[in-house]
Structures are given as structure tokens and as C-alpha cells.
Amino acid sequence: MRAFQVTDFNKPATLETVAAPTPQAGEVLLDIAACGLNFADTLMEKGRYQDTPTPPFTLGMEVCGIVKAHGEGVQNPPIGARVAVFGGQGGLADQGVFPAALCRLVPDSMDDTTAAGFMIAYGTSHLVITRRAQLKKGETLLVLGAAGGVGLTAVEIGKAMGAHVIAVARGPDKLAVAKQAGADHLIDSETQDIAAEVKALGGADVVYDPVGGAAFKAALRACNREARAIVIGFASGDVPQIPANILLVKNITVIGFYWGGYLKFNPTALTDSLAELMEWHAQGRLKPHISQVLRLPDAAKALALLRDRKSTGKVVVRP
């Protein structure tokens, strides 16, 4: 079968022909229908992600596929079931093996492409906004990188929870995508002063930041008292140093959040969150945005779209 693999962190990942995998105890074999890409895949390719495997390994953290075979001890999901799974790796391939316990049945209302890019982005935003930041109806949510894979879902979820949403993105095209997702106010990070614009709108009660760098520092200056600033990632490549004096004066809480980490210490929180999100999607409350769908031979181009910030919402690869 084909697999888009990292064989050396000093070289680009390449499409390889490898032996088809065999499911071990507790695993299922999937015929992969689609794989959702994440910015973390671009970091993993270079060995810079916190959960990077040892090469060689296949990129692709989340997939939708059909159960082809069971490993020892597995009865569910049944053969032939259509499932979505966050496996952490192995998705950019024709087939893959994944823990059966992590597989979720995909409802008929959700197509393969949507299901493949749904879990990480929506799961991240929903769990951190509801559980950690405890966003309340009527509060102001400031979303940085608001047209990206996770940022766009934060805009949607914030609106679904009754928040006033300010979206920050680069350029009018990306801001238009954020507006379509429900943003109440738009700030162009290329031409406008984030801190000044947010303060003029009354300040932020919750900051959602997958970007880092100067944008985070500007957002922190625009926080209201008792605001919560969520650290999701550092797409800018700059990990900001947080000025503790601002936290002290305004009683601000900074929240670190890694969605995948919950698999190790509280998987129930993930499954409960995803179950609610699936219900919201079935009710029409969520409208996932996929900007590009590419084929497996173009996986390198798909990753470049994320790396060069040329995508909005999700990029999905179908074998």
C-alpha cells in the first residue's frame, strides 16, 4: 500500500510503498477514506512536535475509514462500520491500524471528508472553551488565527454558546471566512492594531490563541479583568514570554491546553465532548469549512498549504 512517511527529520516526507499493516490486540484495520491535516503534522515532519514518533512513521493524525479487520479481542466497532479516529499518526495512507477504543461511529449526516477533519479542531475548541475557560453567554471571545483549522471552530462554538466573538486574521479573504462562521467583529492583523481595536470594542473576557508571538502579547493587553487567555499553539513560530505583571494587575488566568493529552489522563472528557459536538452537527449548529481536498500523491502540497498559511478551515487528503 501507499503511505506518506517521515524517514528522516532532515528530509521531506515522501510517498512510499510499504507492507499493509496487521491489527494487533485491541486494534482495528481501516480502509482509509480521508485524513484531516493539522498544523501539528508540519511540526511532526521535522521532529518538533511533543508526541513525535521515531522514524519511519506515517503522518496523518485523524482519519475517517471503514473497519476492514479486527485484532485479537476486538468486537466493536463491527466490520464494515464507518468510523472516525484520532490515532496520532498513520492517516496518510491507503490503510491504517488504530485503537478500537478510540474509534467513533460516524453518523449518516456527516460525510467522510467532514468526519476526517472534525475531531481535533472542533474537539480542541469545544473542550477548552467549555471545560477550561468556562465561557459564559454574553462574554466577549477574542479568537486569534480565526480562519485557521482550530480558530474557525472557536468562532463557531463561541457563537453557538452565545458569546460576542471578535475574529483576528490576516487579510480580507480570511476575515470573510471568519465572518461567515459567525464572527461579530473582524480585525485584520496585517493592517490594524489588535490591542487598540479590541479595547475599543470593550476588551476580551476570553482569548483563544493558536498563534503566539506578538498577537498574543497584543491580546493580553486588551484583556478585561478576570479574563482567561487560552494558549493552544504557536503557529507564528514564536513562543511568547508572558509578562506576569499584567496577569497580577488584571487578575488574568493563562490556560495551557493540549487536546491529545486528555487521552492519557481523562479520555472520558474527550469522548463526552465529541458526543456533544456530533449532536450539534446533526442539529445543523456547526458548518465545518474545508478549503482544500487533495489526493495522497499531493500530500506534500497539502502540508505546504498549512505551513504557508494558504488554507482556511481544514485541509483533507483522500487516498
Task: Report percent pLDDT > 70 for the chain.
Answer: 100
Does the pTM surpass 0.85? The reply is yes
| Average pLDDT of the chain, as a whole number | 94
Domain that holds residue 66: 2-118+288-318
What are the tens digits of pLDDT across the range 86-125? 999 999 999 999 999 889 999 998 999 999 999 999 999 9
What are the tens digits of pLDDT across the range 5-32? 999 999 999 999 999 999 999 999 999 9
What are the tens digits of pLDDT across the range 115-153? 999 999 999 999 999 999 999 999 999 999 999 889 999
Residues 232 and 136 in one domain: yes
The residue from 216, 241, 260 where one domain ends is: 260
Residues 141 and 243 in one domain: yes
* Helix (H) / strand (E) containing 67: strand 62-70
- Give the count of domains, the chain: 2
The residue from 242, 260, 278 where one domain ends is: 260
Place of cell 493558536: 210
Strands 62-70 and 82-86: antiparallel
Q: What cell was used for 164?
A: 460576542
Q: Residue 201 sits in a domain of what CATH number?
A: 3.40.50.720
The sign of the CA dihedral 243, 246, 249, 255 is negative
CA angle 81, 87, 89 (to 5 degrees): 125
SS3 23: coil
Residues 125 and 255 in one domain: yes
What are the tens digits of pLDDT across the range 270-312? 888 988 999 999 898 999 999 999 999 999 999 999 999 889 8
The residue from 223, 242, 260 where one domain ends is: 260
Output the pLDDT for position 181.
Answer: 94
Q: What cell was used for 235?
A: 503557529
Task: Report percent pLDDT > 90 for the chain.
Answer: 82
Residues 302 and 247 in one domain: no
Residues 131 and 38 in one domain: no
Residues 136 and 87 in one domain: no
